[in-house]
Amino acid sequence: MRSDPALRVEEIGKRYWVNRERPASTLGEALTRSLTRRPGRRGSGDEFWALRDISFELSRGEALGLIGRNGAGKSTLLRLISRITAPTTGRIFAFGRVATLLEVGTGFHPELSGRENVFLNGAILGMRRHEIQRKLDAIVEFSGVSAFLDEPVKHYSSGMHVRLAFSVAAHLESDLLLVDEVLAVGDADFQRKCMGKMQHVAGEGRAVVFVSHNLNAVQRLCTRALLVESGRLEMDGAPGAVAARYLERWGPAQTGGTAVIGDEVARVGDGRARIRRVTLTDLSGTELTAVHFGQAFRVRMQIDVFEPVPEAVFEVGIASADGDRLATAQSIDAERPTTPLAPGAHAVEATLRMTLLPGEYALTVGVHRRNGITLDYVEGVLGFSALNVAESGSDHYPWRGVRGYIRPDSVWSAPVAADPPPSPAIR
Amino acid sequence: MSAPADNRPAHTIVPPSGWPLPDLRELWGYRDLVYFLARRDIAVRYRQTVIGAAWAIVQPVAFATVLGLFLTLFGRVPTEGVPYAVFALAGMSVWLFVSGSLSSTATSTVASSALVRKVYFPRLVIPLAAIIPSIVDFLVALVVLFVAMAIFGVAPSGNIVALPGVFLLAVLVAFGAGLWLSALVVRYRDIQHVVPFLVQVGLFVSPVLYQLDLIPERFQAVYSLNPMVGVLEGFRWAVLGTSPPGELLLIPLTVGALLLISGLVFFTRAETTFADEV
């Protein structure tokens, strides 16, 4: 099983210094400091281990997902494996050619033509000139920008730009492909292409390491996942199990009912108001932990206001379990007026109607002023499920899951006989 | 498509320690990147400026003309019989190469920060690619010089066979110093402002527009420690047949070699933290 390694990481650590006297950034500063520093006192500080004791091995044919919160160390790990930055401790063995894709189109220059950029970008990714030349037709065809190949890329649309850049990277032959959140850019079509290419790479017996916030993508694409937390390797296992652990730990603090938001909760805002409680109820006021298919629900906020707020705006956001915002409702939507708030305790309720597809969701709440200043804002304060059955029990999907998050209202015509497609495909 | 399994790692990543030597073999594998980066810089420069390629011609000619007029008006400079315009143009073409490559290599690492943070390649590629446009400019300036010589009726000397050697000395000095500066600039940004100053002062403390003989004899030894003295005297000897530089050439050779070797070692040590600092 492990006889054909692609990557071996042994007790890797990366240390940074924080609160340390910042290293001199100019020569002048360095000189004055060395003249004024008291002898025997080296600029000390607190060490911060962005990564500590990370060990794992990856075989050919595996696609490994790195899961973790922002700042957990996923990207640092990727940068160490790709040799962009050096580790403080440990060793990494890479077997074969490593290709890194931290962004699409690194080094693209707007003044150069598409063709020139293909060569430049290919060389930056580590390809030789003859290798790029050999693949040029395939790259251009995959990108779909052949008509503009000799135009400067500054005249390209951003979509064309991304397609051409990804196309170069996709044709890089590597034994180990490192990808970081590239999928966050580009349209759905591009993302699909990108995912397909990565699956193809793993299927060919090469290896992929993929960093993403998108738990769905990791579960779909990867054969294995690592959970990185505060620089340490927390779990190594099947993507589903690792994603579940991540959600268990970092999903909403509470599911359903009323969430009490203490002062220790991370929030954004100038503090002139504080949201104390958030409750999810049905229209009769009964607390809910799950909404039925298509069921309207109510979000109730209790707010302490400390200073008068002339023009308050309330916000309720709905996000997927992995944190992507799906919908936002604000009290001034459809030109409804703002509300003045006097100091004291207030409660406000929003009634929302939408059909969420079965799955896990989280509520975000906020109070702002009309001029854009945020008084208080708490993300992912309350989790809830959307069930695969309507309240009446009549409307439900026969499948285990449905892709996506939201079901639009739709009207379908009855199928009618149509003309056959022109010229049947060969064979 | 992928090579049969080979259980030896293709590369091993360990924490940096001591004074590592540059991996020249790996660098050789990235020679195409040097080429494409240099090509990008040349193409972009010529496409963005209105006069484009003419810039490489206009610059030395303008400098030589203005300074030539100035010096002709205010005092005669001995040139061993070479018309002053040709004499000054020869000096300027070498000087513009050295000062241009010094400035471009010194700032190259910081200018490439977007690349350095996002992808791995041997960082030495950056200063190497940065010096190439200056070499191209020099070749254009050389053609201009030969045209000027034809116009003023100056025949190239037989020493011209030594020209490539003298030019290599200029490359050695410029790249050695540029390498040091490019690694230092990453840590100390104010070095960037030192370079133009260095270039300005250098123009006057090097025999660009005058000959070494103009310097009083007792100061010549100290003056010649400037490696550009040997390079400039050597260049004019090779092209115009002025007095031979002799052992003066040993100074740029020694200084250049020392700068290059120490620069390579310093750069290789510094490059491990580039991505954290640029």
DSSP string, chain B: -PPPP--S-SEEE----S-PPP-HHHHHHTHHHHHHHHHHHHHHHHHHSSSGGGHHHHHHHHHHHHHHHHHHHH-----TTS-HHHHHHHHHHHHHHHHHHHHHHHHHHHHTHHHHHH----TTHHHHHHHHHHHHHHHHHHHHHHHHHHHHTPPPPGGGGGHHHHHHHHHHHHHHHHHHHHHHHHH-TTHHHHHHHHHHHHHHHTTTSS-GGGS-HHHHHHHTTSHHHHHHHHHHHHHH--S--GGGGHHHHHHHHHHHHHHHHHHHHHGGGHHHH-
Whole-number pLDDT of residue B90: 92
A53-62, A258-267, A370-379, B26-35: the lowest-pLDDT one: A258-267
Whole-number pLDDT of residue A23: 63
Whole-number pLDDT of residue A1: 45
Instruction: Taking residues B150-179, report their average pLDDT.
Output: 93
Residue A158 vs residue A316, higher pLDDT = A316
Cβ within 8 Å, pair A123-B189:
no
- Most trustworthy range by pLDDT among A265-269, B215-219, B274-278: B215-219
Digit-coded pLDDT (tens) for A385-405: 888 877 777 777 877 667 888
> How high is the ipTM of this complex?
0.86
Instruction: Please state, for a pLDDT cut of 70, what percent of chain B lies above it.
Output: 92
Neighboring chain A residues of B10 at a CB cutoff of 8 Å: 94-98, 175
On the question of pLDDT at A40 being above 70, the answer is: no
Instruction: Taking residues B144-151, report their average pLDDT.
Output: 91
Cβ within 8 Å, pair A92-B120:
no
On the question of pLDDT at A331 being above 50, the answer is: yes
Neighboring chain A residues of B36 at a CB cutoff of 8 Å: 119-120, 123-124, 129
Cβ within 8 Å, pair B189-A91:
no
Digit-coded pLDDT (tens) for A332-361: 998 899 889 999 999 999 999 999 998 889
Whole-number pLDDT of residue A188: 61
Instruction: Taking residues A153-171, report their average pLDDT.
Output: 85
Whole-number pLDDT of residue B62: 84
Q: Is B33 on the interface with A (CB under 8 A)?
A: yes
Question: Which one of B30, B33, B34 would you mutate to disrupt binding with A, by most A Cβ within 10 Å of its Cβ?
Answer: B33
On the question of pLDDT at B255 being above 80, the answer is: yes
Chain A residue with the nearest C-alpha to that of B118: A102
Query: Which residue ranges make up each domain of chain B?
Result: 24-277
Whole-number pLDDT of residue A43: 53
Chain A residue with the nearest C-alpha to that of B46: A111
Whole-number pLDDT of residue B3: 42
On the question of pLDDT at B146 being above 90, the answer is: yes
Distance from CA of A21 to the nearest CA of B (A): 15
Instruction: Taking residues A61-77, report their average pLDDT.
Output: 87
Of A98, A103, A173, the CB nearest to B1: A173
> Going by C-beta distance under 8 Å and a sequence separation of 6 or more, which residues neighbour residue A333?
none
Neighboring chain A residues of B47 at a CB cutoff of 8 Å: 111
On the question of pLDDT at A421 being above 70, the answer is: no
On the question of pLDDT at B120 being above 50, the answer is: yes
Chain B residue with the nearest C-alpha to that of A13: B15
The mean of the pLDDT values for chain B is 87
On the question of pLDDT at A41 being above 80, the answer is: no
Chain B residue with the nearest C-alpha to that of A124: B33
Q: In chain A, what are the domains?
A: 5-22+43-250 (3.40.50.300), 258-390 (2.70.50.60)
Neighboring chain A residues of B121 at a CB cutoff of 8 Å: 124, 126
Digit-coded pLDDT (tens) for A206-252: 899 988 766 777 888 889 999 998 899 999 999 888 888 887 776 66
